[in-house]
Amino acid sequence: MIRVAFVGAGSVVFTRQLIHDLLSFPELDGLHLALHDIDPERLAVAESLARLTAERLGARPVVTAHPDRRAALEGADFVVNLVAVGGHAATLTDLDVPRAHGLRQTIGDTLGVGGVFRALRTFPLLDGLAADVRAVCPRAWLLNYTNPMAMNLQYLAAVAPDVRAVGLCHSVYWTVRGLCDLVGVPHEEVDFVSAGVNHQAWILRWEREGRSLYPLLDAAIEADPQLARRVRVDMYRRLGFYPTETSEHSAEYVPWYLRHAGEIERLRIPVRDYARISAENLAEYERVRDRLAAGEDPGPGEQEGAVEYAPQIVHSLVTGTPRVLQVTTANTGLIADLPDGAAVEVPATADRTGVRPHHVGALPPQLAALNRSFLGVVDLVVQAAVKGDRDHVRHALLCDPATAAALTVEEITALCDAMLGAHRDLLPEALR
């Protein structure tokens, strides 16, 4: 029996989608779904939703709930990591403390001050998770959804190179899907290649029957001036390739936009947007919890069709069905002009033999330059944790594009100290 363990299963909305997608494959009927969360209430809600999803699909999985993580991982073939260390409260800290120091952020989960400290409080969890995988399921594939993706995967490669880990994110899929809708081309008729780093990758090729679709995008932008009021459309027009993450995300990874009130207005950038998103996620969890407690059906919460990558990887590795999808993994010459060992996002083939990333070659130089700036911050954060060097946390913020564009050196230092204090109890021991 194939065993899929969910770590952080209390992220119930996302867990529910993944379970729905897994159980939508007839070949995966009979899976063992082992759910783990440190919050007993959230774990109970996740278990109820898993059973309800299975009932709706007519599937017959074994569903077990485990307060103890190692018990959930025992004998697992796949481990899906969904943990958000610190939850909603930590997210607000990531946004509010920098705001008090004069720094604007939108999402704060990937780069910048929010991304740096989300990584630092996640690394101890990754240490324990890697130790459990080694102990009770050493051949399992660790499928990580937790952000900041590049930092987490580069950290795992540094401290647990023997653990088979890949990072998964749906941003490329939905970017290509959205572009196809915009130009009126069926998504299933399109071929594309994307590469770079997670949340700052690029659509290098986007074709139908061998013809580039970028001219159709140019025409759509020309016909609708409001499209130009998006950060990533602005970046596309200047760089020549479309970025794979939303405008809210993309604004944070470059020094050009968030420091300028006029650019925020021109490009309609929703500052501090993740506070709203996080609050909505919490409200949705509470709604589902309360309806289940009242014996009421919370209603379907899944999108039809297996669009998430983790279920597709499980299906491909179990059945041998080949698929090409995007993964974050260590750069072993996959992208020639990005640093060796850095966490890069590239296409990969998944089948019965495993997950094999593709060699992409060199990126266009303007794209590689931006990615190297991004990865410089990633490397400093990983080095801070691996070496226990608090100075490297400050160095990471000094090198972060959006932070350095907005604050002076002394302001960055003060903000770093404030964040180290605010998150002290969740940080790696050596950084407290």
pLDDT tens readout for residues 332-385: 999 999 999 999 999 999 999 999 999 999 999 999 999 999 999 999 999 999
pTM for the whole structure: 0.96
Is 199 part of any known ligand binding site?
A: yes
Domain membership of residue 382 (yes or no) is yes
Say if residue 180 carries a ligand binding annotation.
no
Yes or no: say if 184 and 149 are a contact pair by the CB < 8 Å rule.
no
Residue 170 designated active-site? yes
pLDDT digits (tens, 9 = 90+) for 189-218: 999 999 999 999 999 999 999 999 999 999
Catalytic residue among 170, 249, 260, 359: 170
The answer as to whether 410 is a domain residue is yes
Q: How many distinct structural domains can be found in the chain?
A: 1
Q: Give tens-digit pLDDT for 151-163.
A: 999 999 999 999 9
**Does any domain span residue 111?**
no
pLDDT for position 218: 97
Q: For residues 39 and 400, give the distance between their C-alpha atoms in angstroms, rounded to a whole number.
A: 34
Range of the domain at 417: 372-423
* 289 inside domain: no
How far apart are the C-alpha atoms of 424 and 353, rounded to whole Å? Answer: 42
State yes or no: 147 annotated in a binding site: yes
Task: Read off the pLDDT band of 304 (50, 70, 90).
Answer: low
